[in-house]
Amino acid sequence: MSQDDAILLRHILVAIEQIERYTRGMSESEFLSRPMVQDAVIRQIEVIAEAANCISVIYQGEHPKLMWSNMINLRKRIIPENFRVNLDKVWNIVQDDLPLHKQAIKKLL
């Protein structure tokens, strides 16, 4: 693993952990009623997607079980071309996708 890839993986892990802190103990309805939390979570999802996109192709190829395209496309999934954020998708990503990404990344670091 190159030093750059390791740094990017740590950025992804930190962003996931930030989202966990922002949403800890929160229900979906509470999340949907708190715009500042939504904005913070969306920002960290953007960080995750951008960092994943910058991981070297070689490293991605060496670890194909990690859902790279899923991580890279997180931003596109929540912010489509019309720029209307889909908060239901954001919540589903927080609950379903990010725990899996976190577990996989921890194994790599």
Task: Please give the Cα distance from 30 to 91 (Å, whole number).
Answer: 11
State the catalytic residue, choosing from 21, 43, 75, 77: 75
Task: Please give the Cα distance from 94 to 85 (Å, whole number).
Answer: 14
Contacts of 6 (CB under 8 A, 6+ apart): 109
Contacts of 5 (CB under 8 A, 6+ apart): 55, 56, 59
Q: Where do we find the tokens 């750059």?
A: 4
Whether 10 sits among the annotated catalytic residues: the reply is no
Instruction: Cite the active site residues.
Output: 75
